[in-house]
C-alpha cells in the first residue's frame, strides 16, 4: 500500500499534464467529448448538409451518430463533484496524504 502511494505521489508531481495520472486523462477526454458534442458535431452537420447539396457526399449517406449525452454528463458531473469535494477538503485543512 505504501509503495503504491509513493508511485501515485511521483506521478502527480510530474510536470507533464499527460503523465500526471489518470485524472488529467479523464479530464481531457471529457473536455474533448464536450467540445465534440457542442461545437464540432453541429459544425460538421452543417458541412455535411452543404456537401450533400453539392453532391460531394451521397444523399443516402447519413452523418455519424451523436454521443450519448446522458453517459457523458454523468461522467463529467461526477468528476466535477469529486474535484469540488477535494477543494472543500483543502479549504478546511483536511490532509489526504494518509489513507486510513
Kindly state the percentage of the chain with pLDDT values over 90: 22
pLDDT tens profile 44-87 = 999 999 999 999 999 899 988 888 888 888 888 887 787 777 77
> What value does the mean pLDDT take over residues 25-49?
88
Q: What is the DSSP string of 24-81?
A: HHHHHHHHHHHHIIIIIHHHHHHHHHHHHHTTSS-TTPPPPPPP-HHHHHHHHHHHHH
pTM tops 0.85, yes or no: no
Q: What are the residue ranges spanned by the domains of the chain? A: 2-90
pLDDT value for 4: 61
Q: How far apart are CA 55 and CA 87, in angstroms?
A: 53
Amino acid at each position: 500500500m505504501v509503495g503504491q502511494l509513493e508511485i501515485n505521489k511521483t506521478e502527480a508531481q510530474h510536470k507533464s499534464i499527460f503523465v500526471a495520472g489518470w485524472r488529467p486523462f479523464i479530464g481531457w477526454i471529457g473536455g474533448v467529448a464536450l467540445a465534440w458534442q457542442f461545437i464540432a458535431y453541429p459544425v460538421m452537420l452543417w458541412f455535411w448538409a452543404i456537401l450533400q447539396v453539392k453532391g460531394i457526399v451521397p444523399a443516402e449517406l447519413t452523418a455519424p451518430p451523436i454521443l450519448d449525452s446522458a453517459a457523458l454528463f454523468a461522467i463529467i458531473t461526477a468528476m466535477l463533484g469529486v474535484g469540488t469535494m477535494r477543494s472543500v477538503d483543502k479549504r478546511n485543512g483536511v490532509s489526504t496524504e494518509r489513507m486510513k
